[in-house]
Amino acid sequence: MQQVDIWDAETALRYDTPGIGMFAPEVVGPTVDRLAELAGEGAALEFAIGTGRVAVPLAARGVPVTGVELSAPMVRQLRTKADEATIPVVMGDMSTTVAPGEYTLVYLVFNTISNLLSQPEQVRCFRNAARHLAPGGRFVIELWVPELRKLPPGQGAVICRSEPGYFLLDTYDVLRQHVVSHHFRFDDTPQAELFRSPHRYIWPAELDLMAQLAGFELESRHADWSGAPFTADSPSHVSVYRLPPAP
């Protein structure tokens, strides 16, 4: 499965869920608050900007936002909310595509770095972030922690979420650090809808080493955007990496 094929026109049209799920105010609000704080008086660059779930409210807060995005259908959906002058977007892969300008903040939300399916691509993503940042600039990543503790020997799948009309099943290839997420949606009929996406999972320690290779230092790591402590039981983290300031 290629990422450009996964994020097609049909997926883009159904991606937004205003007011609920990852679009709920209690999810988006703390994310935008923290990113606005980190951007300060500078501009922000979002890798894999998608339909603008975070970029649109961040721009509304007065932070200049530019995006990089691989999927043209996702950008078309973004354009129903903000024009090119408000939120410019450069089409391309987040590991190599260069956007014009210099930024105080580059960010990747909602596990998106794991869409890059090899370690070299993920390292290039860090280096691409560093390329765009002013001295002292920050790169922020929101990422889940692999749930291998839930994976008994000989079993290759974990049920991550189960709720009425929906469940999420992750299948693991531990040799390659690959996961395929299977999203099942269903109602009272015999039919179910399946959406699948492949990922390469990254342990926090591996992520920190990727950051070091690109010249970053870990500034902070929390369990969520509101600043809850990160522990061994945290299912995800928000990690802030920073370049050295100017001499």
pLDDT in tens, 27-37: 999 999 999 99
Q: Are 219 and 242 in contact (CB under 8 A)?
A: yes
**pLDDT reported for residue 246:** 86
Which segments of the chain have a pLDDT < 70?
1-6
> Domain residues of the chain, as ranges?
3-146+203-242, 148-198
The domain defined by 3-146+203-242 carries CATH number 3.40.50.150: yes
**pLDDT reported for residue 231:** 97
| Length reported for the chain | 247
**pLDDT reported for residue 3:** 65
Other residues' Cβ atoms within 10 Å of the Cβ of residue 159: 12
Residue 113, Cβ density class (10 Å: 0-12 exposed, 13-18 middle, ≥19 buried):
buried
pLDDT in tens, 113-148: 999 999 999 999 999 999 999 999 999 999 999 988
**pLDDT reported for residue 162:** 86
CA distance 111 to 143: 4
Quote the pTM value.
0.92
CA distance 124 to 229: 29
Q: Are 38 and 138 in contact (CB under 8 A)?
A: yes
Which residues are registered as beta bridge partners of 231?
none
